[in-house]
Structure 1
Amino acid sequence: MSLQQVDYGIREDGEPLPLFVRPKDDNSKQFLQRWLDNNKEWLEQKLLEHGAVMFRGFDIRCAADFEAAVRRVQPELSDEYRGTSPRRLIPGTEAVFSASELPGYYPIAQHIEMSQLPAPPRKVMFCCLDPPTSFGGETSLCDFRKVYRDLDPEVRSKFQEKGVMYVKNYTRNGKKWSIDPTMLKGWEELFGTTDKTVVDEECRKSNIDITWKDNDAVKLVNREAAIQYHPETNEPVWFNHVQVFHLTMLKDELYRFSHRSKSFFFLLLSYLMAIINWLAMTVVRHTEFGFYTFYGDGTEVTASELRSIGDTIWKNMVFNRWEMGDILMIDNFSTSHGRQPYSGKRKVVVCWSPPCQKPKAYRQ
């Protein structure tokens, strides 16, 4: 099956992220599966070039349709998830999950999936099964190769030299009422087990320092490089969760979204989160937050440095409205994703490839 059987191209505004692929005559899921079987090399090249490819207009009705299509390109899918966002397995599938169980008003900042770990997935795939009707709700994208190039050289140099330290705290039973908005889920949900010896072994394999605390709580600390080489193109990529796992993320993302949406509600919400941040910083030690980030040597990342990182990312972010049946494939070693706030209904599901060991850290 040839490329002539589909239309493909970039957005009308010239933005190359993502590349869109649409059917010409046959929009059936069977055609899409056959087409993917015959055009894997082309697709892989376009993922490297653009960072993401969106399949739009095909008759994808459910998570099982999505999984069947994705397996034509990525036969092996992983069910191992070490991120912070609560998720659940979609019935009728083996490896498709809800993209997030966080409430719609909660923004998810741009991130390379599981970049805080030694072996993130090589690809991440999303599918829209119920488009949002409100403003927002996009799975926004950002080319983190551009972020590396555009970032303030002084900030970039400090992260190249020091790396990032991630501190995460989990209770046994998950989130309870807390002044800390980063307490999202428990360690049993994170690791998929109630066996502490299994948790200890998983942390050992991932180079994570683990400390068990009172009431079956646990603290996880690990250090990773902030910048990585892309495993195939050898390009430097901004590759970390530094602003995502910082306590200030929520207020900063809400503030930026309020300006994009011109929403007074989200502006007020961002100010409320700023007050909660101040209270949390007053009451709770940094190392006791649900998650927090430092430079790799344990020194603080300043507010101006975090603002510089956030501004650079937002300058390069791309927003594409979801349509029913959209399938979005992302090169997880070059391109980040996030979620814009929304209200009302929205259903997006996700799957990802098995862990891929990071290439060597970028040094200059």
Structure 2
Amino acid sequence: MDKVVFDDGETLPLFIKPKNGQDSAEFLINWIGENKELMRKKILEYGAVMFRGFKINEGVEFERAVTQVDPELCDAYRGTSPRKQVPGTEYVFTASEMPPFYPIPQHLEMSFLAAPPRNLYFCCLVEPVGPGGETALCDFKKVYDEIDPAVRQKFEDKGVMVVRNYKKNWSVFNDPTQLKGWPEVFNTEKKEDVENECRDTLIDFSWKKNDGLKLVNKRDAFENHPDTGDRIWFNHLQVFHWYMIPDEFYRIYKRVGQLRYLIMSWIMWFIKLFFLNVIGPMNCGLHTCYGDGTEISNAENKHIRDVTWKNMVFNRWKKGDIVMIDNYRISHGRQPYTGRRSIVVAWSKPYLRPSLREKSE
């Protein structure tokens, strides 16, 4: 305990730093192994824990450190962001292969699924040298608490419906929210395998012309935290609604004052309005509406995103940083960046949403 320093500031995350020069990867791996129960308690208490100042240089070292506290990681990824497995590891992937100018809004990893990961882990192997590139965090308990009661009740009553439309192959001519084809999402080109997984994970599916695939699933907008029972804003609205892309660029422009993000906001508004008018929101690459199929208004979207951005915490990455996140409470996202940057990720096994556990009992 006296070999590291705990720095619990007023905002996320809890920082743990080396003491007396004990900063090697081997020391950290052993220390986490000796204090795994303490780490689990700290992750639960703070929502996110950041190890800073340790010499973590490779994905293998990160994987060894993470498996000390969470020995049952998972390599199945059913999210929408393109990723690549890190050589020499079994459970470590690039955080995203999306272009660096593209923002990733706040979300709980795979929260649109019936069983998202319980915890999430990031590591910085190459820190950003240019502006941007933060993996911002947000406490979605605070978001739930601060949503206008009338808006909150509407989401409580109706839930949300997530719609994803995939072509078989990705193309630059697709809706920009479709980031990969369905064979890459499901790691198979066999339609039967896709159908079986959709049934197992409570996702409605339908095949469209030219081998297109439409996925629809209804979920509660909130969840009770598995350990604390706290009510959590728990859905992908701020990522999967057509409104999000232009609005995210605009908010980034307001934060950093760089004109290119304002221009990107205008471009994305034009592109999204084109797709909305031509094919409709339900046929866009990604969309979210209320569970009864009615649209979530721009005003309601803006309110949710206002509350989210109010509670976001921005920390610049340093090489070797490891952050451990309670994925049932603390969201993450990515700010655009320039220059080099390498962030890798690992996640725990799927954990069935508490609301679905209650329905199955």
Structure 2: which amino acid aligns with 1:321? R
Instruction: Give distance in 1, aligned partners of 2:244 and 2:356.
Output: 25
1:262 to 240, 257, 263: 257
Aligned to 1:141: 137
Aligned to 2:224: 229
- Spell out, residue by residue over 1:275-323, the C-alpha distance to the aligned partner (whole angstroms, 9 max, x if none): 1122121112211111101100000000000000000000000000000
1:4 to 2, 11, 22: 2
Q: CA deviation at 1:133?
A: 1.4
Matched, 1:53 2:49: yes
Instruction: Give distance in 1, aligned partners of 2:264 and 2:206.
Output: 34
- Aligned pairs (5 A) from 1:164-183: 164-178=160-174, 180-183=175-178
Instruction: Give distance in 2, aligned partners of 1:163 and 1:40.
Output: 36
Instruction: Give distance in 2, aligned partners of 1:253 and 1:51.
Output: 24
Aligned to 1:188: 183
- Spell out, residue by residue over 1:52-100, the C-alpha distance to the aligned partner (whole angstroms, 9 max, x if none): 0000111100111100111111111111111110111111110100100
Aligned to 1:80: 76
Aligned to 1:250: 245
- Structure 1 318/252 Cα, relative in aligned 2: closer, same or farther at 3 Å? same
- Structure 1 38/116 Cα, relative in aligned 2: closer, same or farther at 3 Å? same
Give the TM-score normalised by structure 2: 0.97
Give the TM-score normalised by structure 1: 0.96
Q: Secondary structure at the match of 1:279?
A: helix
Structure 1: which amino acid aligns with 2:3? Q
Instruction: Give distance in 2, aligned partners of 1:168 and 1:86.
Output: 15
Q: Secondary structure at the match of 2:254?
A: helix
| Paired residues of 1:56 and 1:325 also in contact (CA < 8 A) | yes
Q: Secondary structure at the match of 2:192?
A: helix
Q: Secondary structure at the match of 1:86?
A: coil
| RMSD, aligned CA | 1.3
Instruction: Give distance in 1, aligned partners of 2:210 and 2:283.
Output: 14
Aligned to 1:95: 91
Point out the more displaced range, 268-277 or 303-312: 268-277
Instruction: Give distance in 1, aligned partners of 2:233 and 2:356.
Output: 11
| Paired residues of 1:229 and 1:361 also in contact (CA < 8 A) | no
- Spell out, residue by residue over 1:27-67, the C-alpha distance to the aligned partner (whole angstroms, 9 max, x if none): 11111111111111211111111110000111100111100
- Spell out, residue by residue over 1:148-180, the C-alpha distance to the aligned partner (whole angstroms, 9 max, x if none): 0011111111111110000101111123423x2
Structure 2: which amino acid aligns with 1:332? N
Matched, 1:118 2:122: no
Q: Secondary structure at the match of 1:210?
A: strand
